[in-house]
A and B are shown apart, each in its own frame.
Chain A
Amino acid sequence: MARYGMVIDTVRCVGCMDCVVACKTENGVPEGYNRDWIAYETTGTFPSLHTEIRSERCNQCDNPPCVYCCPCGASHIHERGGVVLVHHEKCSGCKACIAACPYDARFIHPDGYADKCTLCIHRVEAGKDPACVAVCPTHCMHFGDLDDPNSTVNRLLHSRKYHALLTDAGTKPQLFYLE
């Protein structure tokens, strides 16, 4: 079975926010809301500082607390690729999933239901890349099947040093950042 994930090259990412614009356009994300965003993380001691620029979104966790805590069964793991999705018509807007997410990747849509990145599953099922991946001008983002040893994402993870976000929280994120 496929296990969809993303590999994002932080060396190539320049934080242009094309991915953000593409997501908002593709998915009709309301004004003032974000399914994906840019993180600028600066570490070190002056003058020896290092800034990592990341395109972030739902980490499509393999152990998703947002799904387990949902009292309505609205948050679920899609049969295709293990993508974490929300049935809008089942959601009561209780916000438990938002409290459960260590990445704060979810939000309440102005219509009342919990919303988040879907990895553009509608595009993936049509054989296309997610919108954010498709538009990236530096080609820093890669989408694919982490269970397929020949996929680009797997090849990159085997050849480069990488990290995932807040792995100590135990959610098994499926988005990886090349260093």
Chain B
Amino acid sequence: MRELVLTRTNPMIDPRLHIWGWEIALYLFLGGIVAGMMIISGYFLLKGRHKEMTCSCLTLPPVAIGLLSIGMLALFFDLEHRWYFWRMYLTFQPASPMSWGSWILLLVYPALFANALIRVPASLERWLPILARWSRAVQVRPGIIAAIGSANITLGIALGIYTGILLSAFGARPLWNSAVLGLLFLTSGLSSAAAFVHMISRNKDESILLAKADNAFLTLELVLILLFLIGLVSSTRVHLEAAMLVLTGPYAPAFWVFVVGLGIVIPLFIQSLAVRHRIAHTPLAPLLVVAGGLALRFVIVAAGQSSHWTRLILTN
């Protein structure tokens, strides 16, 4: 047996680490979906298809700005010394994923605003006529549109991967300690963003195209979850114990039901039938995908904080 009793009583640390709650899970989800929106929108801009893919290229940018701002607000609320947040912008710490993230976020906003310039709402144009002039200047220059597309793709990939690497860089939390998490969160973000377009686009071709893309993203997400778990299970004892938290432990019901079942497998099945014209397209599957993306962040953030290093005691 091994029994460890500590007299330590630090809030948020004891008896279980709980430093990050809904704010971080929500921020990671919103960061991921915004990353996906930037990549999808940027792809169609780069291909010069922004006039046909109206939802992806014209609706997503302002939506992404709103969602990212909500995420940043959640992040701000999570800070314990919040009025010192600007300290992150007085330095760049290359070994800190959070430092990378804070600077990436600073670049993401101009890219999203440039993307939103391609179509400025009439009400905003009346209020700020300069936006109308800039918008017209962008619209007649395909090179600038392509450059905005490239910037959105690049920064979207950086943002999506960073949300995973932020957690995976913590070697002290074995469940998070896998670089697959970067790709998994990026793919989940792409999937949620594609589901969002599938759900709200009035352009049938665009909706079906994004449903097909979402099916590919969901399949890739399943593969990445499998690789993530294989990596942990085949690693050290503490990593195996961490994987068991989601495989059979206290987080298993939420992981299997909300993340894998309702979040990936069932919507993948529904959307596969829909794109083959066996059943009609309904908002159910994309809603499940988006909710599954949120559940993934909640489960990983919570379970990761329960995973820890322990001393191996050999007894005979």
Interface residues of A (CB under 8 A from B): 17, 20, 32-34, 37-46, 49, 56, 65, 68-74, 89-96, 98-102, 104, 106-108, 111-113, 165-166, 168-170
CB 8 Å contact bits of B205-244 with A (1 = contact, 0 = none):
0000000000000000000000000000000101000000
Expressed in whole angstroms, the Cα–Cα distance for A71 and B172 within the complex equals: 17
A residues less than 8 Å from B173 (CB atoms)? 99
Q: Does B99 sit within 8 A of A, measured CB to CB?
A: yes
B309 touches A43 (CB 8 A): no
A94-B98, A99-B20 as given contacts; A65 in contact with B172, CB under 8 Å: yes
Contact in complex: A69, B19 (CB < 8 Å): no
Known A-B contacts A43-B315, A102-B171, A107-B12; the reply to A92 vs B85 at CB < 8 A is yes
Contact present for A96 and B98 (CB under 8 Å): yes
Q: Which of B4, B7, B236 has the most CB of A within 10 A?
A: B7
Q: Which residues of the partner chain B approach A96 to less than 8 Å between Cβ atoms?
A: 96, 98, 170
Contact of B99 among A20, A39, A71, A91 (CB under 8 A): A71
Contact A92 B1 (CB under 8 A): no
**In the complex, B123 has a CB within 8 A of chain A:** no
Looking at chain B, what size class is its interface with the partner chain?
A: 35 or more
From A32, A41, A69, A98, B3 is in contact (CB under 8 Å) with A41
A33 to B8, CA, bound (A): 8
- What A residues does B99 contact at CB under 8 A? 70-72
Q: Which residues of B contact A46 (CB under 8 A)?
A: 1
Q: Given A71-B96, A168-B309, do A112 and B82 touch, yes or no (CB 8 Å)?
A: yes
Please, which residues of chain A bring their CB within 8 A of the CB of B82? 92-93, 112
- Give min CB distance, A103 to chain B, whole Å: 8
Q: For A166, list chain B residues within 8 Å (CB).
A: 309-311
15 A-B pairs with CB atoms under 8 Å apart are A17-B7, A32-B10, A34-B10, A39-B7, A42-B3, A46-B1, A65-B171, A68-B95, A95-B78, A96-B96, A98-B17, A104-B13, A107-B11, A112-B84, A169-B172
The proximity string for B residues 95-124 relative to A, scoring 1 for CB distances below 8 Å and 0 otherwise, is: 111110110000000000000000000000
Contact A40 B5 (CB under 8 A): yes
Q: Are A37 and B6 in contact (CB under 8 A)?
A: yes
Closest A residue to B85 using CB positions: A92
Query: A112, B81: Cβ atoms under 8 Å?
Result: yes
B79 & A42 in contact (Cβ 8 Å cutoff): no
B84 adjacent to A89 (CB under 8 Å):
yes
Kindly identify, within residues 261 to 315 of chain B, every residue whose CB is under 8 Å from any CB belonging to chain A. 305, 308-311, 313, 315
Query: What residues on A are CB-neighbors of B84 within 8 Å?
Result: 72, 89-93, 112-113
The residues of A that contact B315 with a CB separation of less than 8 Å are 43-45
Chain A nearest CB from B19 CB (Å) reads: 4
Measured CB to CB, the closest approach of chain B to A68, in angstroms, equals 4
